[in-house]
Each structure stands twice: as C-alpha cells, then as structure tokens.
Amino acid sequence: MAEKNMIVALVLGLLITGLGLMYDGLVKRGAVSLVIAIVLGLLNYAVSSIFMYVGLIFAIYVLYDTYVCTNAINNNQAIPKFLTQIDLE
C-alpha cells in the first residue's frame, strides 16, 4: 500500500468514526466501525444514555486503531486484528 498521511487519517476518523480506516484502504474495517458507532448511537437514543459513554469509548478506540493501522501501513508491517480478535482484511 502507498504511504498514508497520519494527520489526514486521524482528522477523518475524528469527523466520522471509521472514515480514517477507510482512507487507509481498510474499507471493511472502517465500515464495521461505522455500523457499530451508529448502533451505539441508536441505542443511546432509544434505550439508555449509558450507551453514549460506551460509544465515546468506542470512538476513542477507533481513533487509536486508525493510528496503529496507519503506522503499520507506513512501516510495511502487518495490520493488527480488529479488537485484537477479528481479522477484517
């Protein structure tokens, strides 16, 4: 893969959860992150405000994941698994 700009990836990920991963070329991983964030947002609205905190923690994790994946791409290293368990390549 071509080298990716870390700042662009993180800003995109900050604007919309998962968009930074899609910028990195990890479209499936970014789409799964986006869907999870949407579900957590809907649960926050429909069920309980506790899901707002879960969604915030998840969004921070996805930003960290974007950082790690962009770093791995730029250093020609293996992309780590999503949530350390799921292979979404």
- Output the CA angle 41-85-64, nearest 5 degrees: 55
Per-residue pLDDT tens digits of the chain, which is 89 residues long: 688 999 999 999 999 999 999 999 999 999 999 999 999 999 998 888 889 999 999 999 999 999 999 999 999 999 998 887 777 66
Q: In 10 A of CB 9, how many CB atoms?
A: 24
- Cα-flanking dihedrals φ and ψ of residue 81, to 5°? -70, 150
Q: What is the pTM of this model?
A: 0.89
11 contacts: CB under 8 Å, gap ≥ 6: 20
Q: What is each CA distance from 33 to 3, 60, 75, 84, in whole angstroms?
A: 22, 11, 23, 14
